[in-house]
A = this chain, B = another copy of it.
Amino acid sequence: MERKVYLTNTDIEEAVSYYLGRLDEAAAGVKIELVDVREALGRVTAKPVFARVSAPNHNAAAMDGIMAVAERTFSASETNPVDLKPIEDFDYVNTGQLIRDPYDCVILVEDLQELEDGKVRITAAASPWQHIRPIGEDIVAGEMVLPENHRIRPIDIGAVLNSGVRQIEVYERIRIGIMPTGNEITEDYDHLEPGNYFDTNSWTFCAMVEEWGGIPDRISPVPDREEDLKSALMQLLERNHIVIVNAGSSAGIRDYTAHLVEEMGELVFHGLAIRPGKPTVLGIVDGKPVIGVPGFPGSAFLAFEEIVGPVFRKLQRTRISQLPRIDAVVSKRVVSSLKYREYIRVKVGKVDEKLIATPLSRGAGVTMSLVRADGLMIIPRNSEGYEAGETVSVELTRDMSDIENTIVSIGSHDLIMDYMATLLEKREAGPGEPKIHLSSAHVGSMGGILALSRGEAHMAPIHLLDEQTGEYNTSYIEKYLGNRKIALVKGVKRQQGFMVAKGNPKNIRSIEDLARKDVVFVNRQKGSGTRILTDYLLKKNHIDNSLIKGYDRDMTTHMAVAAAVSAGTADVGVGVFSAAKAMGLDFIPIGVEEYDFAIPEQFMETEMIRAFLEVLRSEDFRKILEELGGYEYYEEQ
């Protein structure tokens, strides 16, 4: 069993620059084709485009009125009006129309007095060529309309046609062969055996290539057999400019990509100093780039953007469209290795004029953090990361105007937050009002309170039980946010309970059952309202934590707890009814709690919070709560 070790840990800029330098032959092999400009949107000119005719192709009226012989008007004045005779001295003309001989000026319709005999009277002289668009004002025949290596935009199509040119020379569209590999990768999206993965990367790659303006050529996943991989690669190489091999696993025993490239051509790099994306392979086979992209979606997406992107652009002769950069305050500590340049997806929010970047989960496999991200924060090599509160530079992948109109909610997780987000998206904004969005981060109730105290959120959803009073939320706000004016907006009442497998096979009925020897528990993280409730119940019933199997294994959402029970790695967890229902679990209620929103007074009158409250009290929201079950709705107060 030969175990591969990464050959290199090369700096990404250095690697990409060297690799691109090796691809001149590949770039020269890209053909030029003649296409109708009307079908050339997004194509790239291979030659400059020169105008065949001038535009306008004639002297044309720039305004509505009459075209006249200027000489005949020279003596006109207020005190000495001049009458012009039709045809001999003038004729009517509309904007854009041809100025015929002998006319050489245009007089505006509002400067005329029409007389009954068909003549017109003027009271001012006209100068020659006034209100006339001369031939070639827009485009002069022979002029360069578009340079070489120019990507065709809609307006270019109009301009090229306007210059009398219909066919233009462009580079053929770059074709990228996409080859998913791995025995565990399936494209049967209706069934998934444990241990297998859907092939998802190759479809994301296809869509990226389409957005770039190239042509994707994807094949079905190839099993990890050398002869299959080799013949698939050869076929793809024949009909494409670039081939991507998407490995099933990283440097495992079955990672043949580097080996294959080495055998069939030249292995230029194996291993880059980036995270995620380290096990990337850069090779050249038959003069064409062959790139091995790692399997985890996070790594795959990044390697495709940062490495396949520049290769595509070199061949297609396009430029990267640069993302806008902003400075933001990072909301929690991020640690990075000195060895790698690290790419971290972040949510961005604007709270009280301060831009806040919140790092999302960094697991390489976490596709949802790619979906949810507003931007990308890059930690350079040789940096250990950032402390909370430091200012960092973020490349935005979402519009700043959207970010400015997004409610930043940090706190406890509940399914209803997803539904609130959807209701806000559906809400029609009033005239001149922007659309309001909701972004919620799930860090538990106490995490939300801390975010409010640091000024990093517009609201915190919380459900914190006061063990002394048995009341929810108010005492926590007083204790931790006493120095700020905070409104507590009542949200929903919701049932908490034990989530257990269908039919409750372990017969779990009460809090005492958690300490049974045959029962495995799965917990929530410290600071979450659910954890506080659990600990409160344990204490009240004098149960020792250390007797509970799995007490130390904690999850950050209700759904993650439900998933653990559903998968059988735990017998029971505490959570809300809707999560149990979504995962098909049984639910044993242990109490009703109050899930409310702590909102600083200063935000209460903003358009954002008003929209949020409007949706919270809406009939649509009430209906959703009924359908979900396990909630009580507060009637309009």
Contacts and interface: CB of A to CB of B under 8 A. Distances in A.
Interface string A220-235: 0000000000000000
A583 interface: yes
Interface stretch (A347-355, A359-367, A526-534, A589-597): A359-367
Given A399-B321, A431-B17, A138 B363 contact: yes
B133 A57 contact: no
B158 A204 contact: yes
Contact of A322 (B156, B164, B399): B399
B57 A192 contact: yes
B366 A138 contact: yes
Interface string A178-202: 0000001000011010111111110
Tell me the number of copies of this protein.
2
A306 to B, nearest CB: 14
Contact of A563 (B48, B64, B135, B165): B135
Given A253-B94, A363-B133, A421-B147, A207 B56 contact: no
A573 interface: no
B133 A194 contact: no
A123 interface: no
Given A147-B421, A363-B138, A368-B139, A301 B155 contact: yes
Contacts of A37: 203
Interface string A281-313: 000000000000001110001000000000000
| Residue from the set A57, A189, A562 with the largest chain B CB neighbour count within 10 Å | A189
A425 B149 contact: yes
Contacts of A563: 54, 134-136, 140-141
A543 interface: no
| Residue from the set A159, A164, A562, A566 with the largest chain B CB neighbour count within 10 Å | A159
B200 A135 contact: no
A371 B97 contact: no
A129 B553 contact: yes
A455 interface: no
Interface residues of A, number: 127
Contacts of A166: 189-190
Interface in A33-70: 37-38, 41, 48, 53-60, 62, 64
A135 B564 contact: yes
A339 interface: no
B140 A94 contact: no
A569 B211 CA distance: 48
Interface in A329-348: none
B399 A184 contact: no
A464 interface: no
A555 B136 CA distance: 11
Contact of A96 (B155, B248, B569): B248
B189 A139 contact: no
Given A96-B295, A136-B559, A368 B200 contact: no
B17 A422 contact: no
A322 B401 contact: yes
Given A159-B368, A162-B367, A194-B57, A254 B142 contact: no
Contacts of A133: 363, 365
A144 B295 contact: no
A254 B137 contact: no
Contact of A201 (B158, B204, B555, B562): B158
A431 to B, nearest CB: 4
Contacts of A146: 371
Nearest to A248: B96
A162 B422 contact: no
A13 interface: yes
A465 B425 CA distance: 66
Contacts of A251: 64, 95
Nearest to A402: B319
A159 B370 contact: yes
Contacts of A17: 431-432
A41 B371 CA distance: 14
Contacts of A324: 324, 400
A161 interface: yes
B207 A569 contact: no
Contacts of A198: 55, 161-162, 164
A508 interface: no
Contacts of A200: 157-159, 161-162
Contacts of A148: 422, 425-426
A204 B141 contact: no
Contact of A371 (B109, B155, B204): B155
A621 to B, nearest CB: 14
A147 B425 contact: yes
| Residue from the set A128, A426, A569 with the largest chain B CB neighbour count within 10 Å | A569
A441 interface: no
Contacts of A301: 155, 158
Interface in A535-592: 553, 555, 557, 559-560, 562-564, 566-567, 569, 579, 582-583
A-B pairs, 5 with minimum CB distance: A142-B582, A98-B195, A94-B252, A154-B207, A136-B563
8 contacts: A56-B365, A94-B252, A96-B296, A98-B194, A135-B566, A136-B567, A142-B583, A158-B367
